[in-house]
C-alpha cells in the first residue's frame, strides 16, 4: 500500500484527515512537526509516495519543509499537496515555483481530498 504522510500542527486537522482516508487503500503516517517528518524522510525511516502538509506551522512552515525536502535525493520527485486555510494566489504561485503538486483549501471537502489522493497516486477510483 502506498504511504501518505500528513503534516499539520493541529490534532483536529490530523484527526479529520485520518477519518477521511481510513477507507482508502493507503497507509497513513501523521506528524505534528514538519522537522520530525523531514528527519525521518532524510534518514530513510519513511519513504512516502505522497505528502500532504499544512502551510502555517510553528518550527518549520510548509514552504520551508518543501524547500528542504527537495534537497533530499530520494524525495525530489515526491508529490506534495498543500492543505491550508490560505487562498492567496501569490502563495499558490510561490508553492508552484517550489515544486508543489497541488493546493487544497481548508476546511476541505472529504470527497475532494480523496479525489486528489486517488489522482496523484493513480489509485483505482
pLDDT band at 125 (very low <50, low <70, confident <90, very high): confident
> Is the separation of the CB atoms in 118 and 110 below 8 Å?
no
Average pLDDT over residues 93-101: 95
β-pairing verdict for 50-53 and 80-84: parallel
Span 49-92, pLDDT tens digits: 999 999 999 999 999 999 999 999 999 999 999 999 999 999 99
pLDDT band at 20 (very low <50, low <70, confident <90, very high): very high
Q: How many CB atoms lie within 10 A of CB 98?
A: 17
For residue 43, pLDDT over 90 is answered with yes
CATH number of the domain that 46 lies in? 3.40.50.2300
**Which domain range does residue 10 map to?**
3-121
pTM of the full predicted structure?
0.96
CB < 8 Å & 24+ apart, contacts of 105-114 = 106/13, 108/83, 110/20, 113/17, 113/20, 113/21, 113/83, 114/20, 114/21, 114/24
For residue 10, pLDDT over 90 is answered with yes
Domain count, the chain: 1
Amino acid at each position: 500500500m502506498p504511504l501518505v504522510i500528513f503534516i499539520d500542527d493541529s490534532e483536529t486537522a490530523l484527526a479529520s484527515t485520518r477519518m477521511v482516508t481510513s477507507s482508502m487503500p493507503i497507509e497513513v503516517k501523521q506528524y505534528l512537526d514538519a522537522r520530525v517528518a523531514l528527519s525521518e524522510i532524510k534518514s530513510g525511516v519513511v519513504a512516502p509516495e505522497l505528502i500532504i502538509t499544512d502551510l502555517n506551522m510553528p518550527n518549520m512552515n510548509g514552504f520551508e519543509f518543501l524547500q528542504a525536502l527537495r534537497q533530499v535525493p530520494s524525495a525530489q520527485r515526491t508529490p506534495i499537496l498543500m492543505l491550508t486555510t490560505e487562498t492567496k494566489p501569490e502563495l499558490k504561485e510561490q508553492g508552484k515555483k517550489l515544486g508543489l503538486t497541488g493546493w487544497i483549501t481548508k476546511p476541505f471537502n472529504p470527497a475532494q481530498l480523496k479525489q486528489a489522493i486517488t489522482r496523484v497516486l493513480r489509485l483505482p477510483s
